[in-house]
Amino acid sequence: MKHEEWKKISRIMSKRSLWMVHFCTGCGAMEMPPVMTSRYDMERFGIFAMATPRQADVFLVTGYLAVKTLKRVVQVYEQMRDPKYVIGFGSCTINGGMYWDSYNTIKDLSKYIPVDVYIAGCMPRPEAIIDSFLKLMDMIDKGEAIGWQKYRKYYDQYKRNQKMAFEYRLDEVKPIKEDDKNES
Amino acid sequence: MLTEVLVSLLAGVFLVLALNKYPRVAGVVAFIISLLPFMAVLAWAGTMGITVPSYLKFFTLETSLTYNLGPGVIHLAITPLGWFFLMLLASVFPLTVMFANSFVKRNAGGFYAAMLLTMFGSFGLLLSQDILSFFIFWEIMSWSIFALVLRGHDRRAIVSYLAFGSLSAMLILFGFMMLYYKTNTFLFADMHLTATPLTLAALSLLVAGFAVKGALMPMHAWAPHAYSRSEEPFVAFLSGGLSKLGFFGIILFMYGVVGMSVISSWGTFRGVPWFGYALAVIGAFTAFAGTVLAVMQDDLRKLLAYSSIGQLGYIAIGIGIGTPLAMTGALFQALNHTFFKAVLFLAAGAVFYRTGKWKISELGGLGYKMPFTFLAALFAIFALAAIPITSGFAAKWLLYEAAIQKKFLFVTPIMLIAGVGAFLYAFKILYGVFLGEPRYDVKEAPLSQLIPMWLLVLPLVIFLVIPGWFVDITAPILRGYGMQPIQHTLFSINTGLATYNTLAVIFGMLGGLLVAFILYKWKKQEVVPHIDNYLAGEPPELYEHIGMHASSKYFEPFDEVFGPIFKKGAERGWEIVLSAAEILGTGARKIYTGIVGDYSIYVLLFFIILVGWWLLW
Amino acid sequence: MKAKELFPDAQELRKGRVRIELDKEQITDALKKLKENGYTHFVMLSCVDWIKEGKFELVYHMWSYEYKEHVMLSVKINRDGEDVVSNRELFPQIETYEREIHEMFGVNFVGNPRLGEFILEGWPHMPPMRKDFDTEKFVKDLYYKIPEVNEE
Amino acid sequence: MVMEIVDILEKILILAGMVTLGFAIGMLFNGIARKVSARIQNRVGPPVYQGFIDVFKLFGKKTNISHGWIFDLAALFSVSGIALAFLFLPVAGYSMLSTDGDLFLILYLLAIPALGFALGAGASGNPNAAVGVMRALMSMLAYELPLVMVMVAMMVYYNTTSLANIVAAQANMQWAFFIPIFFIGALVADMALQGMLMEKPFDIPIAPHEIATGPMVEFGGKHLGALMLYKMMGTVVETTLFVDLFLGGGVVLSVAQYGWLAYLVNFAVWFVLILIVFLIAVMIDNVLPRFRIEQALKFYWKYDALIAIFILIWIFAGVKI
């Protein structure tokens, strides 16, 4: 079998079996039960809720993230194994939502960990959640869901941003040197 | 040549005592002398029908010897049963002495002297052919064990060993007196006993006396303390080797001196002599209770001590059932227990040597630090839990088969459930000591401790592959008691109920491992540090001061269920014994008044009774 | 005895709700008195920032199951770092509220050993609940200025 | 000599094929169980081949983590141990290695993957895993008592400990299920099977909501894939054990009489029977809550074992010696 075909099969398998770990700090967790249970039944797409990040493929961040929770989110994200995907859930992960001026919540999740799919809305409907998963599947199939590769590639930038948030203090943004570029 | 062996063992005792100031030298000398019994085993192997290459025969030994010591005659001879148990003891003994070289620091000469004297007593005991020499050697062995228990400086251990040791000696002495009264001879061979109540009483007393050394359940109370408070090399020898002498005694007198036909003529219960049935039930109870108590222990040595009690119970079951199958199983279990328990006690000693801790809840994560100790202990634990990738399984299997063959409907489930209970405490040792969070930054145990452990693991592997060989070794013993050895080839045993083929298991396991290995090597992996653990998202740094090792009160639900039954029951039993002892003591206190006049009256009374008895008789 | 009888200058806001204004030296005695007279439930300790007066108002909320009455003991202290005595011996749960108020407003409670980092991890700035802390400016200066990940 | 080698190779091929089939059935069962649960909960549910996809995906993960070589032993021991246990079972009356072992061997072979798994879970150092293993071992202690009681009763009744012989005896006479005393025995063993399969109400060892799937908490990627294979094969092994004991191993046609047709029919019947046994367990799983571990122990040792003792007494009184 050719390498390409093998990769294709592998992609199909991983898109049909998305095990997720959801980080329920925000109000978005409330929308998950209907999605999982008989009304919307996400298991028919092979999506299954897992208890630990070690077993999971998809990371669902439901709602706002305080800086303190961001530490846990990063911890959990780094414990997941590649390939791994992140879905940002609700307005809070996009621009802070109703917490846009809170001193303690981050505003844009994609600055700290790579997000593959965002779901807009406050709250997003269960249909929107399912739609986002279908979109993610589509992206996996086409090889577009490459957040985990980005995290590896721009690891120092993500780490720098996380550090700024954790310390509540802007570091001077160093211009990317030519040597660093070559290394990454 | 036998005299020379015995004399050099005795001479060794004094030699190492003289070398007390140079512990290392004493250790080496003791090790060289401790090899003598093993050489004797090899020298006698030919007479047991086992061919040993000539370069392993260091000297030739006469098979029997008689010493005329004025008042009595000591008859020594090698029998198949004696040879088998001598083989067990003699293979463990030099290795424990070797282990002691780095382990025992304090008054090492005394330690080696007492060890050699113990071996001397056991050596003579296993050879003796008359009750006089049997008792003399038994006492030498028992008292030198006492000397070693004394070194633990634990009052409970010393007092309980002294009490139970004396009780055992007393019971055995009474049994011997009855036997002598009945037959008027010292020699085992000349005793032709018949089925009388006196024989039954004598046999019961003897079995009860030997059960003390074998730590069967009502007589076990000394064992947990003595096992857990003495030095590990000695405990390995005590649990691995010396505890088998009790079963040697039971087999010798039950099947050798008294004989199966006499025992059967007292009546049988469902095809098994009720004497044996009772012994099997006691053994099953011991196996179960020992296991349950082992699960509840936190002290590593106490856990191993109770586990010893539990595993020895299986031997009693086999002896009790008394069919060829059961006897083979019992002897096989004796062999396995000798080796795996010695390994476990030595591994515990090595862990203590490096960390200085005995409590399971204080240890942890040593598997990566001491990998060779861990692997040896893992093998021993597999043998203990009777996992079919060591020889431990074959022994238990034979016992189960024997029990089913004799339709032991209620004993078999207890045996099986005790076997499952063994998984529980086996994992407690594994997790609590070797797995989990690394708490100590220690080195691997020294080579002089690793070599004994790994040499002791070897038989467990050999007899896994070739159980037929073991049946061949024990065949002369069974023939001696008029039993037919069980059907077997080199790699498989057929019991009439089923077949056990080790080759199928081994090759199946190897094939499975191969497939699993290929599956597993398919993808690369990276090794992460221990601290990188999923803790519900909490950063692991928070856990640094709490620790992530969950081994304290590990089987808490188990303790909650079984604790009230076993601990309280045992406590109540001891309270009764204690109050009885107190009543006796206060009674005795009234006699020992401390007034000289009273004592003179006692002496006078004694003489009057003596004279009166002589006149009236 | 009811709070009204214990403290004559207490003002009853409405039925079952009493407000007592005290100096900060009296607070421990007042709490003890109330505790002995049936106000056994210490509900919470809250803090209000009166920035124009230059005061922090600490409010101790008590509840009596006997009289079904909610008593608020109000203490005003200066904003510029005036110390207050900790009452953790009287009601152990006060400790937690004191830690929170210390973190969010910067009030120092003398006698509380655990005044340290509580909810905010590694907060280097002014206590965020004080009214002179400009949240919007802080957010715009920090979160909106964290750069996007540069994908080149 | 050549013939012997060809014979051995043929045997090895058949065994490898059977093990592969076993794993395949296990994966299929996983999908069926999820589909049935979904239908009970009025959902659509995943496709029945979901188990294949999941295992394939787990083995296809790009990066895997390990906590050291002791951790890796779990993957090796669990897959090889369960495959070995499967080989020693008579499947639809067809004996792979079952004449070389017996029931006791199978009981102890089932402990190899369990202990190997426990070893890996302990080596990960996660407290959740340690708690999960403790619960798993205790539930093992709990369900084994009634199970071995019934097994001992059957062994004494059929006067053999070999599972192959028990299956053969049932093919000759009647299935043990239809003997009244062993019908009760089958009920007792079915309770034990519920614990063996770790289905509710006895799924406290892996309770995902309390201890994050317990022993499996640190396993991901290929390690988890190996454990999934073990669990899936475990369902096949355990249900086959039950079917062999009580339902005659699914043997309806004699091989001597009908030849290859008998094999085909027997395999079909065996498959249907283990599926039914498994689905009963899944259905019980779907309607019951979860026991705490000491409650599970008390349930098995008080009620289940009591009925088992009744069976033992029956056999004790009835069998002539």
**A10-54 pLDDT, tens digit each:** 888 888 888 888 877 777 778 888 888 888 888 888 888 888 888
The whole-number average pLDDT for the span D3-19 is: 86
B506 in contact with D, Cβ within 8 Å? no
Residues 6 or more apart whose Cβ sits within 8 Å of residue A135:
A117
Residue D164 DSSP label? H
Residues 149-208 of B with CB under 8 A from D: none
Range of the domain at C31: 3-145
Please check the confidence at residue D296 and state whether its pLDDT lies above 50.
yes
Min Cα separation C19/chain A (Å): 32
Rg (C-alpha) for chain B, rounded Å, is: 26
Helix (H) or strand (E) holding C21: strand C17-22
Asked if A43 and D224 come within 8 Å (Cβ–Cβ), the reply is: no
Q: Looking at the structure, do residues B299 and B393 belong to the same domain, yes or no?
A: yes
Asked if D111 and B498 come within 8 Å (Cβ–Cβ), the reply is: no
Please check the confidence at residue B432 and state whether its pLDDT lies above 50.
yes
The whole-number average pLDDT for the span B185-190 is: 81
Helix (H, G, I), strand (E, B) or coil at A146: coil
Pairing of strands D90-91, D94-95: antiparallel
- The number of CA neighbours under 13 Å toward the Cβ of C140 is 4
Range of the domain at B601: 556-616
Measured in degrees and rounded to the nearest 5, phi and psi for residue D306 equal -65, -45
The span from the CA of B368 to the CA of C145, in Å, is 47
* CA C45 from centroid of its chain's CA atoms: 4
Interval C88-118: pLDDT, tens: 888 888 888 988 888 888 888 888 888 888 8
The span from the CA of B164 to the CA of B222, in Å, is 7
Helix (H) or strand (E) holding D65: strand D65-66
% of chain B with per-residue pLDDT over 70: 96
Q: Looking at the structure, do residues B470 and B573 belong to the same domain, yes or no?
A: no
The span from the CA of B104 to the CA of B30, in Å, is 13
Average of per-residue pLDDT values in chain B: 83
Q: Which amino acid is at B267?
A: G
How many Cβ atoms are within 10 Å of B147's Cβ, its own excluded?
15
Interval B472-501: pLDDT, tens: 888 888 888 888 888 888 888 888 788 888
pLDDT of B603 reads 80
Residues 6 or more apart whose Cβ sits within 8 Å of residue B326:
B317, B318, B319, B320, B398, B399, B402, B403, B406
- Structurally, chain C folds into a number of domains equal to 1
D65, D59, D62, D198: which is closest to D120 by C-alpha?
A: D65
pLDDT of D236 reads 92
Asked if residue B20 is part of any domain, the answer here is no
How many Cβ atoms are within 10 Å of B170's Cβ, its own excluded?
12
Q: Which residue of A has its CA nearest to B525?
A: A81
Q: Which amino acid is at A76?
A: V
Q: Looking at the structure, do residues B573 and B426 belong to the same domain, yes or no?
A: no
B255, B249, B34: which is closest to B126 by C-alpha?
A: B249
The whole-number average pLDDT for the span B341-357 is: 88
Asked if D213 and A46 come within 8 Å (Cβ–Cβ), the reply is: no
Which is more confident, B576 or B96?
B96
Pairing of strands B526-527, C55-64: unpaired
Which token pair is C128?
């965020």
Average of per-residue pLDDT values in chain D: 85
Which token pair is D236?
């096949």
The span from the CA of B425 to the CA of B287, in Å, is 13
Measured in degrees and rounded to the nearest 5, phi and psi for residue D317 equal -80, -30
The span from the CA of A65 to the CA of A72, in Å, is 10
Asked if residue C108 is part of any domain, the answer here is yes
Q: Answer yes or no: are the C-beta atoms of D75 and D227 closer than 8 Å.
A: yes
Give one DSSP letter per residue of D197-253, joined into a string: TT-TTS-GGG-HHHHTTGGGTT--HHHHHHHHHHHHHHHHHHHHHHHHHHSGGG--S
Range in B317-331, C91-105, D92-106, D151-165 the model is least confident about? D92-106
Interval B11-60: pLDDT, tens: 888 888 888 888 888 888 888 888 888 888 888 888 877 777 878 777 77
Asked if residue C120 is part of any domain, the answer here is yes
Q: Provide the CATH number for the domain around residue C32.
A: 3.30.460.80
B418 in contact with D, Cβ within 8 Å? no
Please check the confidence at residue B596 and state whether its pLDDT lies above 80.
no
A136 in contact with B, Cβ within 8 Å? no
Q: Which amino acid is at C54?
A: G
Q: Looking at the structure, do residues B574 and B469 belong to the same domain, yes or no?
A: no
- Structurally, chain A folds into a number of domains equal to 1
Measured in degrees and rounded to the nearest 5, phi and psi for residue B421 equal -60, -30
Which residues is C14 bridged to in the sheet? Answer: C17
Asked if residue C150 is part of any domain, the answer here is no
Mutate to test the interface with A, among C103, C138, C145, C149 (most CBs of A within 10 A): C149
Residues 6 or more apart whose Cβ sits within 8 Å of residue D181:
D153, D311, D314, D315
pLDDT of B594 reads 67
> D111 pLDDT band (50/70/90 cuts)?
confident
Chains C and A share 3 or more Cβ pairs within 8 Å: yes
Query: Subunits with at least 3 CB pairs below 8 A relative to chain B?
Result: A, D
Please check the confidence at residue B522 and state whether its pLDDT lies above 80.
no
Asked if A38 and D217 come within 8 Å (Cβ–Cβ), the reply is: no
Q: Answer yes or no: are the C-beta atoms of C95 and C88 closer than 8 Å.
A: yes
- Identify all chain C residues contacting A114, using CB atoms and an 8 Å cutoff: 149
pLDDT of B600 reads 78
Asked if residue C152 is part of any domain, the answer here is no
Which is more confident, C3 or A125?
A125
Q: Answer yes or no: are the C-beta atoms of D183 and D177 closer than 8 Å.
A: yes
A31 in contact with D, Cβ within 8 Å? no
pLDDT of D74 reads 82
- Identify all chain B residues contacting A52, using CB atoms and an 8 Å cutoff: 534
Q: How many residues can be counted in chain B?
A: 617
ipTM summary value: 0.81
- Identify all chain D residues contacting A80, using CB atoms and an 8 Å cutoff: 220
The whole-number average pLDDT for the span C144-149 is: 82
- Identify all chain A residues contacting C117, using CB atoms and an 8 Å cutoff: none
The span from the CA of D61 to the CA of D54, in Å, is 11
Q: At what angle do helices D221-246 and D2-40 cross, to 10 degrees?
A: 100
Asked if residue B593 is part of any domain, the answer here is yes
Asked if residue B145 is part of any domain, the answer here is no
Helix (H, G, I), strand (E, B) or coil at C61: strand
The whole-number average pLDDT for the span B56-78 is: 79
A–B interface: beta-carbon pairs under 8 A: 16
The whole-number average pLDDT for the span A114-138 is: 88
Q: Is the dihedral of CA B248, B254, B260, B264 positive or negative?
A: negative
- Identify all chain A residues contacting D62, using CB atoms and an 8 Å cutoff: 81-83
Helix (H, G, I), strand (E, B) or coil at A88: strand
B99, B154, B92: which is closest to B119 by C-alpha?
A: B92
Min Cα separation D130/chain A (Å): 15
Asked if A72 and B539 come within 8 Å (Cβ–Cβ), the reply is: yes
Which token pair is C120?
């905010």
How many Cβ atoms are within 10 Å of D73's Cβ, its own excluded?
17
Which token pair is B421?
């209970």
Which residues is B488 bridged to in the sheet? Answer: B493
pLDDT of B570 reads 66
- Identify all chain A residues contacting C138, using CB atoms and an 8 Å cutoff: 103
Give one DSSP letter per residue of B247-310, joined into a string: HHHHHIIIIIII-HHHHHHT-EETTEEHHHHHHHHHHHHHHHHHHHHHHH--BHHHHHHHHHHH
Pairing of strands A117-119, B64-69: unpaired
Residues 6 or more apart whose Cβ sits within 8 Å of residue B179:
B131, B191, B193, B199, B202, B257
Which residues is C108 bridged to in the sheet? Answer: C83
A78 in contact with D, Cβ within 8 Å? no
pLDDT of D58 reads 86
> Distances from the Cα of D263 to the Cαs of B230, D7, D88, D270, in angstroms?
62, 20, 18, 10
Q: Looking at the structure, do residues B274 and B371 belong to the same domain, yes or no?
A: yes
pLDDT of A181 reads 46
How many Cβ atoms are within 10 Å of B192's Cβ, its own excluded?
11
Asked if residue B106 is part of any domain, the answer here is no
Interval C41-94: pLDDT, tens: 888 989 998 888 888 888 999 888 888 888 888 998 888 878 888 888 888 888
The whole-number average pLDDT for the span D135-158 is: 88
A34 in contact with D, Cβ within 8 Å? no
Which is more confident, B589 or B324?
B324
The span from the CA of B140 to the CA of C26, in Å, is 83
Residue reference for tokens 């009780």: B167
Please check the confidence at residue D321 and state whether its pLDDT lies above 50.
no
Q: Looking at the structure, do residues B496 and B566 belong to the same domain, yes or no?
A: no
Q: List, in sequence order, every beta strand (DSSP E) within B91-148.
A: none
- Structurally, chain B folds into a number of domains equal to 2
Q: Looking at the structure, do residues B340 and B471 belong to the same domain, yes or no?
A: yes
Residues 6 or more apart whose Cβ sits within 8 Å of residue B248:
B81, B82, B85, B125, B126
The whole-number average pLDDT for the span D131-153 is: 89
Residues 427-456 of B with CB under 8 A from D: 427, 430-431, 435-437
Which is more confident, A86 or B107?
A86
Min Cα separation A71/chain B (Å): 8
> Distances from the Cα of B202 to the Cαs of B189, B197, D253, in angstroms?
17, 9, 60
Helix (H) or strand (E) holding A167: helix A155-167
Chains C and D share 3 or more Cβ pairs within 8 Å: no
Please check the confidence at residue A174 and state whether its pLDDT lies above 60.
no
pLDDT of A183 reads 44
Q: Looking at the structure, do residues B414 and B562 belong to the same domain, yes or no?
A: no
How many Cβ atoms are within 10 Å of D276's Cβ, its own excluded?
13
Residue reference for tokens 């296993």: B126
B526 in contact with A, Cβ within 8 Å? no
- Identify all chain D residues contacting B501, using CB atoms and an 8 Å cutoff: 97, 100-101
Q: Looking at the structure, do residues B280 and B398 belong to the same domain, yes or no?
A: yes
Please check the confidence at residue A179 and state whether its pLDDT lies above 60.
no
The span from the CA of A103 to the CA of C129, in Å, is 10
Please check the confidence at residue B310 and state whether its pLDDT lies above 70.
yes
The whole-number average pLDDT for the span D198-218 is: 80
Domain ranges of chain D: 20-318
Asked if B498 and D165 come within 8 Å (Cβ–Cβ), the reply is: yes
Helices vs strands, H then E, count in chain B: 22, 8
A37 in contact with B, Cβ within 8 Å? no
- Identify all chain A residues contacting C103, using CB atoms and an 8 Å cutoff: none
pLDDT of D278 reads 92
Q: Which amino acid is at D143?
A: Y
Which residues is A22 bridged to in the sheet? Answer: A60
Q: Provide the CATH number for the domain around residue A105.
A: 3.40.50.12280
Q: Answer yes or no: are the C-beta atoms of D55 and D27 closer than 8 Å.
A: yes
The span from the CA of B103 to the CA of B105, in Å, is 6
Residues 6 or more apart whose Cβ sits within 8 Å of residue B515:
D19, D79, D80, D83
B539 in contact with A, Cβ within 8 Å? yes
Among D38, D53, D64, the residue with its CB nearest the CB of A43 is: D38
Residue reference for tokens 């992460």: B528
Which token pair is D71?
């951790």
> A90 pLDDT band (50/70/90 cuts)?
confident
Please check the confidence at residue D189 and state whether its pLDDT lies above 60.
yes
Interval D160-181: pLDDT, tens: 888 888 888 888 888 888 888 8
Q: Which of B461, B480, B500 is the C-terminal boundary of a domain? A: B500
> A2 pLDDT band (50/70/90 cuts)?
low
Which residues is A61 bridged to in the sheet? Answer: A23, A88
Q: Which amino acid is at B276?
A: G
Which is more confident, D178 or B571?
D178
Q: Looking at the structure, do residues B467 and B366 belong to the same domain, yes or no?
A: yes
Which token pair is D175?
């299935």
The span from the CA of B166 to the CA of B172, in Å, is 10
Q: Which residue of C has its CA nearest to A70?
A: C121
